[in-house]
């Protein structure tokens, strides 16, 4: 597939190394935030890009990347989101996490699975807080691993317990889609047990 992939939107990444990786994998145009303290000038560029071509936020799967997503989402409503699993973004020495360490095919797959959030608070979560507990996604020793796997399967990124219901609603994950993913996680657990 190479850089023959056509992406109309402008991809927002964190830095130059991410731009190089995204351009190598897709040929897409990028805007760099240059860190998690997103400047007013950068937000203006992103807002302009959103109006003209649309924007896909594609940040590293770590805390600073989540912070950048939240800042952009707050100031530029309606941007799309692409999520790269942490396991696909680890450097060869295992010490760093970032888009720049991902294989081209993983970058293309993440961008092909873009999610668009629902504005105005999103829909209703497909699950109650009590169900999150009973499904071992909150308040269980294995909850973090299960949420990481769920985020990967649903392509909504990694969340903590408090963020999960909001992210499910924001991306309008249906109850059926949610329960199918939980069932897949349960079946994987049986295999690994």
pTM listed for this prediction? 0.74
Of the pLDDT bands very low, low, confident and very high (cuts 50, 70, 90), residue 60 is very high
Residue ranges with strand state E in the chain = 10-13, 30-32, 55-57, 80-81
**85 vs 43, which has greater pLDDT?**
43
Could you give the 3-state DSSP secondary structure of residue 31? strand
Q: Would the pLDDT of 97 be above 90?
A: no
Lowest mean pLDDT among 29-33, 121-125, 171-175: 121-125
Structure tokens at 142: 């294995």
CATH tag, 2-112: 3.40.1360.10
| Cα–Cα separations (whole angstroms), residue 6 to 23, 28, 108 | 11, 7, 10
CA distance 3 to 23: 7
Domain ranges of the chain: 2-112, 129-192
172 touches 118 (CB < 8 A) = yes
Shortest CA distance to 100 belongs to which of 90, 108, 110? 90
CA distance 135 to 183: 10
């Amino acid at each position: 597939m190479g850089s023959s992939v056509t992406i109309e939107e402008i991809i927002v990444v964190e830095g130059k190394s991410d731009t190089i990786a995204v351009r190598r994998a897709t040929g897409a145009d990028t805007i760099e935030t240059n860190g998690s303290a997103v400047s007013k000038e950068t937000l203006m560029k992103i807002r302009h890009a959103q109006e003209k071509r649309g924007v896909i936020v594609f940040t590293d799967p770590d805390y600073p990347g989540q912070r950048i997503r939240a800042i952009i989402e707050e100031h530029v409503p309606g941007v799309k989101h692409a999520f790269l699993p942490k396991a696909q973004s680890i450097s060869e020495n295992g010490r760093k996490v970032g888009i720049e360490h991902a294989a081209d095919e993983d970058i293309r797959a993440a961008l092909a699975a873009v999610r668009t959030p629902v504005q105005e608070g999103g829909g209703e979560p497909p699950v109650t807080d009590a169900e999150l507990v009973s499904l071992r996604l909150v308040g269980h020793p294995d909850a973090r691993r299960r949420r990481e796997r769920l985020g990967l399967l649903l392509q909504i990124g990694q969340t903590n317990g408090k963020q999960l219901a909001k992210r499910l609603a924001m991306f309008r994950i249906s109850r059926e889609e949610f329960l199918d993913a939980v069932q897949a996680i349960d079946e994987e657990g049986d295999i690994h047990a």
